[in-house]
Amino acid sequence: MLSIVILGAAAGGGVPQWNCGCANCRSARNGHPELKSTQASIAVSADQQNWFLINASPDLRQQLTGTPALHPRAGALRHSPVAGVILTNGEVDALAGLLSLREGAAFGLYAHRRVLDILDDNPIFNVLRADLVPRRAIDVGAAFEPTLPGGQVSGLVVEPFAVPGKIALYLEAADSNAEGDTIGLVIRDTARTRKLVFLAACAEVTPAIAARLEGADLVFFDGTLWRDDEMITAGLGQKTGQRMGHISMREAIPALAGLDIGRRVFLHINNSNPALRPDSPERREAAHAGWIVPADGMEITL
């Protein structure tokens, strides 16, 4: 069995974004709190007691406070069900939440060497003491079993895979794209009866990507934008989705239509995306194609 909680569904900045007056952000502030969404992260567990976070968003403290499954167990003075964190890229919206996991707790931190290098280059992340939070390099194609802080098995098997994407925005000037900047994850229970694929940033559905998704019980897929030029036409930015490393929903939906996938859930949804609104034609089109646009806190059991 695999249990999943969607801690946050939104892209960087969240909904509402602090400095944004677009239609969705305005609505989220005024009269439509159901549009509010924190930045993308999920929690996964094979035993419903020990959980692994996929990415640590800047909203992590708020997300943990709002998720009973992730509260300390009754009677413990200090404890957390968070057994580990697996990072899939080095963007601020994927890793800033690590700064909210200080306070002397032990957990495992897993990321590609390219992303661990970012942490190593920023001494502020030393608030996570190396003796309590070991940093473990993971590599594409090399499946691993994340362990609990005491070394026990987690019941999970995770296989990272390469994804067409890009390096973190704030590093663009200093470095160029390389394998490992963005990874996807195939997550299974150790008996391999369930398959979850996490792919919250993806620039293109290549045959290799399609093969990874085939047969999954659940897929979390990049839902940043509805249209590739959506930020530009809304006056919110100068970049296309492709430039930011994100395929649009309207391209992804047909590209994945023929695959055998149990549940399809968009994640990392930008505040500019009209499919955020339950009453929009875009949401209806996504739903009609079998896609879920989730709310924070949604729970899924496989």
Asked whether the beta carbons of 195 and 186 are under 8 A apart, the reply is: yes
Asked whether position 49 contacts its own copies by CB under 8 A, the answer is no
Helix (H, G, I), strand (E, B) or coil at 214: coil
Residue with tokens 């691993």: 144
Smallest separation (angstroms) from its own copies to the CB of 219: 28
Which span sits near its own copies by CB under 8 A: 56-64, 137-145, 150-158, 208-216?
56-64
DSSP structure class, residue 46:
S
Asked whether position 211 contacts its own copies by CB under 8 A, the answer is no
Smallest separation (angstroms) from its own copies to the CB of 18: 5
Asked whether position 213 contacts its own copies by CB under 8 A, the answer is no
Asked whether position 62 contacts its own copies by CB under 8 A, the answer is yes
Please report, to the nearest 10 degrees, the dihedral formed by the alpha carbons of residues 5, 7, 8, 13 taken in order. Answer: -160
Tokens of 89: 């890229």
SS (H, E, C) 119-141: HHHCHHHHHCCCCCCCEEEECCC
Q: Which is nearer to its own copies, 138 or 168 (CB)?
A: 168
Asked whether position 132 contacts its own copies by CB under 8 A, the answer is no
Asked whether position 131 contacts its own copies by CB under 8 A, the answer is no
* φ and ψ of 144, to 5 deg: -145, 155
- Contact partners, residue 149, CB within 8 Å, separation at least 6: 83, 84, 106, 107, 108
Q: Which is nearer to its own copies, 90 or 184 (CB)?
A: 90
Smallest separation (angstroms) from its own copies to the CB of 217: 29
DSSP structure class, residue 269:
B
Residues that bind its own copies (CB under 8 A): 12-14, 16-22, 25, 29, 36, 38, 58-62, 64-65, 70-80, 82, 92, 96, 99-105, 118, 121-124, 126-127, 169-171, 174, 234-236
